[in-house]
Structure 1
Amino acid sequence: MRILIVGSGGREHAIAWALSKSPQVERIYCAPGNAGIAEIAACVPIGEMQFEALAQFALQQEIDLVVVGPEAPLFGGLVDVLEEKGLKVFGPRKDAAIIEGSKVFTKELMKKYNIPTAAYETFDDYEAARAYLLKQQAPIVIKADGLAAGKGVTVAQTLEEAEQALCGIMVEKVFGEAGSKVVIEEYLSGQEMSILAFVDGETVRPMVPSQDHKPVYDGDRGPNTGGMGTYSPVPHIPQSVVDEAIETILKPAARAMVQEGRPFRGVLYAGLMISEKGEPKTIEFNCRFGDPETQVVLPRLKSDLAEILLATVEGRLHEVEIEWSDEAAVCVVLASGGYPGPYEKGKPITGLDQVEHSLVFHAGTALQDGQIVTNGGRLLGVTGVGRDITEAREIAYADIEKIRYEGKHYRTDIALKALQAMKG
């Protein structure tokens, strides 16, 4: 198989790494890719939103399968464009990618099909939203309706903070048109968990669960990011709760999309909150592999990823057996100093050749005069794999010590929640 991966982040590097292990795969291309992906795939200088150029390249290279990583080209309709030209594509069409592309659509879908989620109201008028907000109690959650690169959600601890977020989204337009509508939602407390699933219409094949760390600083402090680290499994959440989430949230969501005439095919990602009583509720749905969840989920996959992706695209996911390892994986994200605010690019990264035991997935890196340099906010995902969370964590943090660049920033507490909860 000749495969084209669209994207340039840590998620795409993890997908390329997993596909490179398949005996069915003879060649991998990535558009545009990054410095790490270039070690296992041929990177081509085509941006993820250059739909016609991607289509032409795929046709010229006789690509057997296109795998679309990020949400923006999915919501923009890349799958539709490529399929019209006769290409096989893993990822939802535009009408199904709306499950991530519009939070208003998704909240209304969950309400209609009785899928557990937080109470909410939606608004397209700032004054009406503000008037409603001022009658609520904090903490409260403010969400921009559209895509905002994982940064469009504010968990406000005070009404003043909520009002600032609302103004930023709807008046100052910090997320552009993504903020023309907002969702104001009740705050859910408990343990977060992500479950990703391969979905082909009504066939849902869940992956192993993981837990992400969004805030930039230790102790879940500071602004939200695209994700500062993650781990899998989530040993302090019982399998019965995972099973309940699959039966009451993921499977009904897939059925609902079919009933709405928007059948979903690709990876459906459910971001969940597990209450103190062990009841799962939906925080969000995404229409693709998570980043950095993919960096801990795919290292635990024992089955052939290429076969799973192809079966999903061809409507025969129900025929494929998917096996997972019992090992644990912990991924710690290394970021640029200043992220998620302004940061500098072009800082040399050294020590990568000294990493011994971890998988290193590149995100915001580039090759400049033969040297790997910083080229984004989130730079690298260092994933340790071990017998349990403790060992996987030790492996990742030991290798992080060897990587050096100016302004190096990472959280030191990834997966500690799991260890503390298990002790408690």
Structure 2
Amino acid sequence: MTTIEVEDLLRQLVPQVLGVLVRRYGQFDACEDAVQEALLAAATQWPEEGTPDNPKAWLITVASRRMTDQLRSEIARRRREDAVAALAPTDEAVAPAPGDEHGADRDDTLTLLFMCCHPALSPASQVALTLRAVGGLTTAQIATAFFVPEATMAQRITRAKQRIKATGAQFGLPPPDERAARLRVVLHVLYLIFNEGYTATSGPDLHRTELTTEAIRLTRMVHRLLPDDGEVAGLLALMLLTDARRPARTGPDGALIPLAEQDRTRWNRAYIEEGIALVTAALSSSPPGPYQVQAAIAAVHDEAPSSDRTDWPQVLALYGVLDRIAPNPMVTLNQAIAVAMVHGPQSGLDRLRALDGDDRVSGHHRLHAVRAHLLELAGDHAAARAEYLRAARRTTSLPEQRYLENRAARLGTS
């Protein structure tokens, strides 16, 4: 097995192994650390020594030994301090149990996602903990993906685990009356991971493929566990339909290529077909939710053979639905583009005015970029150039910044 194949296998096994340990020992933070150590051992040994016959059992055994060592060390420390040895292990806890004992045959992926996306955590902590505990990424990998020092990310993950422990959260699915709301948080975290990978908020690259790949993989896992949930299917469809365009979204030099100018023959047709099938089935079997509607919009774009043959009236109608069920500034921003394509750029600019006093988006570079685009369509090149430059100054993504500056420069010489 190659190193890459080993890494893929380990990521698939992470939530299963961690679930077994948490059920057995009941200490999420310590168990997660033990699993990370087992993963490191496997990543080091398996490529050279070969993959064991039962990789999951191997990881459970190694991680359980780490937990046993930690428990014994803790007990010894407490005894030395004459404290009560509250964590004294029983024989069952000390010896890793083989087979299916302690839930070894269960798939705890969804339970772990609920725990990592606990409402007591900030969105940034939810994302980091999900990538580490469920995704199997190392702290260094997560730090690199988000352009922060490894020590900073380690502190964030540690605080997140401590916060979960402080809440007294039990390892198990939320009560039925809380499950829907908690699932929305899980899906939002996966959506945040995907978005950061598809359009990085900072740095020299437009994409962070490791994040989009991980978000799609985790969402597939949730869809496998909840195949009848329309919004889970909608989110997976949205990711696939969006990521399908990635191969054509940058040039050889990494420069951003807007949707209207992309070579659609380079789009991932397999992703498009899968995404369309998912969203079609979801919309026909469940009430429309925000992710399903966004996926439907993405499907309209992906099905168009060229930009000028996009069904903009349908896109506008879908944004109307989205604005009713999940209104937010970004919906209005995208809706303004559809309005402009159907009713003319001035109508789109009129729609944008609703956002000028909205603190959530009034300083965002995308508002200036969209206004610049619509002003350009309206023929007001001087105003468009000024807006492109404002947008360029407010983004921390270098590819976006270069694209916006180039648009401004082109208008300045026209």
More helix, by proportion: 2
**TM-score of the alignment, normalized to the shorter chain, above 0.5:** no
**Which structure dedicates a bigger proportion of its chain to strand?**
1
Larger Rg: 2
Q: What TM-score results when the alignment is normalised by the length of structure 2?
A: 0.29
